[in-house]
Structure 1
Amino acid sequence: MSLRVRSSLNAADLAAYAAAQVNAMFPDPDPVTADGLRPAVDAALPRLEHCFSHVANKYFFDGEAAVFHHLHGDQYAMWLYLLANTLHRQGGPAATCSKLFLLNKALHGLDAFHEVELPSVFLFVHPLGTVLGRGAYSDFFVAYQRCGVGSNNDIYPSFGRHVTLRPGAAVLGACTIGDHCQIATESLVLDRDLPDHTLYIGRPGAATLKRQDRTYPLWRKAGLD
């Protein structure tokens, strides 16, 4: 099946662009080359197409194809994660994976390590200050700015489908978050399970749980199962 991505840069230029950024940011004696990145670029673009084609926003999907612009901050943050993670999956150089991760952190304030396995469909919404640790993620995951996913006593959370972390939300420790859940702005879930269709507001000891029936509005209907 042919790739349907309307990209501002072709695959060769994307590889050269990322290599130039990495080398400018980390000018050590082991430079990254465009040729070295190209296999990961070729494998990451179908992942980007699959992800972006589920987003109901004209800047991500124009009705016919996924849309990717290297100067769209949220998109490029998602791309750098996909590129670093793809290179890691391919057994690429650990130093290059780390440089791509650190480039993303420097450009976008996003800490999403290349070994963290985000789902095939996810969305970053201006994710400055967001840290996504080694949780178990499911499709249609959304993270806004200043979100946190992390461990407590070395145990990480797991997430069902259609989970949204609003600005400043954090989920830590032994949590199982059900399908179609939202964690409200500035809320903290710690070592607590949430059933499906829950809106969680507050913090441990002072939390409110409400029924959440509305699905996040930026997913195309094809993804609303």
Structure 2
Amino acid sequence: MDEALTRLERCINAVRMWTPERFNYLNSSQYCIYLYYLANTIWCNERDPAVPTRLFCLNKALNAIDLFYEIEMPEVFFIGHSVGIVLAKATYGNHLVLYQNSTVGKNHGIAPVIGDGVVMYPNTAIIGRCHVASGTVLAQGTSIINHDTPGDCMAFNGDNGVPTFKPAKRAVLEDIFRLG
């Protein structure tokens, strides 16, 4: 439990809206991340699925998130609202931001690679053979399916399933994390 709390503390200390050094178990986002870290830490240390599976199911029931304990999440990430988030075994960069109904999924067994500082606003998806480069912000309702992003951009739905990109106008991550 101490190892999981130490991992959680790194996240809490990095998020601007959270009081550093203070785990509030009544904050559903913090508790959601804690349950993941606890399940993942037990899994990594013991390789026995019994307790991690129960913690995964508890997190799913309480927070409506599908975040399996075998997934390697980054050291620092933020969940705005956990409801409807589904995360596949993919590669996740640090300072990931997830909001409700975000999906990261495989397509024909191929998982995306997500760089540092990616923001997934509500109802977004990253699926299949994609490299979502660092600093990509997915606008609400945007899907990136089997496409790469240039990074440091805003991504939007385009024509015929091909996303469009615009240069980032501001540093969204500075609103969410204590960087530096």
Q: Does 1:128 align with 2:48?
A: no
From 60, 67, 86, the counterpart of 1:112: 67
Classify the secondary structure of the residue corresponding to 2:65.
Answer: coil
- Structure 2 residue runs of 5 or longer lacking an equivalent are none
Comparing 152-161 and 92-101, the one that deviates more: 92-101
Is contact 1:180–1:213 with CA below 8 Å preserved after alignment? no
Is contact 1:197–1:213 with CA below 8 Å preserved after alignment? no
Runs ≥4 in structure 1, deviation > 6 angstroms?
A: none
TM-score, normalization by structure 1: 0.76
TM-score, normalization by structure 2: 0.94
Q: CA deviation at 1:156?
A: 0.3
CA–CA distance in structure 1, aligned partners of residues 176 and 151 of structure 2:
19
From 36, 54, 60, the counterpart of 2:14: 54
- Structure 1 residue runs of 5 or longer lacking an equivalent are 1-40
Q: Which gives a bigger RCO, structure 1 or 2 (Cα 8 Å, sep 6+)?
A: 2
CA–CA distance in structure 2, aligned partners of residues 213 and 95 of structure 1:
46
CA–CA distance in structure 1, aligned partners of residues 134 and 23 of structure 2:
28
CA–CA distance in structure 2, aligned partners of residues 45 and 177 of structure 1:
29
Q: Does 1:209 align with 2:165?
A: yes
* RMSD over equivalenced CA pairs, Å: 1.3
CA–CA distance in structure 2, aligned partners of residues 182 and 202 of structure 1:
12
Q: CA deviation at 1:93?
A: 2.8
Q: CA deviation at 1:69?
A: 1.0
The equivalent residue for 2:118 is: 163
Q: Does 1:149 align with 2:104?
A: yes
Letter in 1 for 2:63: H
Q: Does 1:219 align with 2:177?
A: yes
Query: What does the per-residue CA deviation read over 1:86-117, in whole Å, with 9 as the maximum and x for residues that have no partner?
Result: 01111153111101001000000000000000
Classify the secondary structure of the residue corresponding to 1:210.
Answer: strand
Percent identity over the alignment is: 34
Classify the secondary structure of the residue corresponding to 1:67.
Answer: coil
Count of equivalent residues: 177
CA–CA distance in structure 2, aligned partners of residues 213 and 113 of structure 1:
34
Letter in 2 for 1:44: A
The equivalent residue for 1:199 is: 154
